[in-house]
Amino acid sequence: MVYLLAALHGGMLLILLANLVYLYRGRRRAALNEPPAVSVLVPARNEEANLPRLLRSLLAQTYPRMEIIVYDDGSEDATPALLRAVDDPRLIVLRGEGPPPGWVGKVHALYQATRQASGELYLFLDADTELHDPEALRRLVERFAALPPDSILTGLTRLRGGGKLLVSLVPCAILVGLPWPLVRRLRLKTLAALNGQCWLIRAADYHAHEPHHALPDEVLEDVEIGRYLKTKGLTPCLRDVQGDVSVYMYPGFREAWRGFRKNAYLLMGGSPIAFAGLFAYFALAFLIAPWVSPWLLLSTYALKATTDLYARFPAWIPLLAPLSYVLGALLQVDSAVSHWTGRVAWKGRRVAS
């Protein structure tokens, strides 16, 4: 058992190291001789707390060729009034009253937004994001321009807000769970994903494959779109955009729990058998291993501390790494049971697994 767990931790540490080197090498940006037109596409449902922050940051951008398309997905709060109050020709507001049968709200909202977009590049941003300064969009486009032509840029964003004991598991999963240097080298569909908070694609590539239309009912749409586009010959490339984009995911622990509940089971395979296998893996690696050997306890702390500090979480978060992992396990079980019993809801709508 000790040797098995040691091999497991050794593999995770190697993936983490390889990913950190990959991100370091991916800092290059290409000069823009003629900046391409960018359509920034934002889905919004009941986002009165987040949209003002995002819109301020977008409208402050110095990028010369930009349009912002916000699809208001049947908001029941002050979101429509906030959008009406913005007087800027770069902002296009679309309004819907919910997705049709067979569609998930966010997927439908973004698909409808792309029907109106005119840019050469599409930047997909969640409504709870924020660009840090007026040059942030230019830097994102320069990073995209430095990639090979068959690429999609997806960002490792700065995670702010509450619920940090849970939210800190996100960069841990991104940096330990997927060997990003192999995404381009291996054709395996499962070796791909997108971070739906921030991703950038050529409009021509998007419309050649219409990923939102192809996956209309995917709750975990960003991961599945990344996999789908990889089967079409496009490669998701992770870049560290923490200096450009922040995400205010949740105001507190309770909201974080409810938010992750809708996705955790799907991230763990989305079926009872897959969930059982991946949950056993998680429990062995992060709950049992620290009790087997002091070296494995040290490795558990090292994994979490490295991803926490890289993602700019405060120092007390890695000190509570065992608590984060316990909470993560409990959340996975709660998510699975909630999906099995049909009790998952988000922003007033039922979420089906």
> How large a percentage of the chain has pLDDT more than 90?
89
Per-residue DSSP letter, 241: -
Output Rg (C-alpha) for the chain, integer angstroms.
Answer: 20
Nearest CA-CA partner of 152 in 218, 216, 219, 204 = 204
Average pLDDT over residues 332-344: 92
Output the average pLDDT for the chain: 94
CATH architecture of 31-157+195-250: Alpha-Beta Complex (3.90)
Whether residue 331 is predicted with pLDDT greater than 70 in this model: the reply is yes
In the structure, what pLDDT confidence band is assigned to residue 33 with cuts at 50, 70 and 90?
A: confident
pLDDT of residue 353: 54
Taking CA atoms, 303 is separated from 18, 189, 298, 308, in Å, by 13, 26, 9, 9
Render pLDDT for 170-193 as a digit per residue (tens, 0 to 9).
Answer: 999 999 999 999 999 998 888 899
> How large a percentage of the chain has pLDDT more than 70?
99
- Domain ranges within the chain, ordered by starting residue: 2-20+252-350, 31-157+195-250
Render pLDDT for 37-68 as a digit per residue (tens, 0 to 9).
Answer: 999 999 999 999 999 999 999 999 999 999 99
- Look at the alpha carbons of 106, 112, 114, 117 in this order and tell me if their dihedral is positive or negative: negative
| pTM, to two decimals | 0.94
Strand (E) positions, 132-224? 151-156, 158-161, 198-202
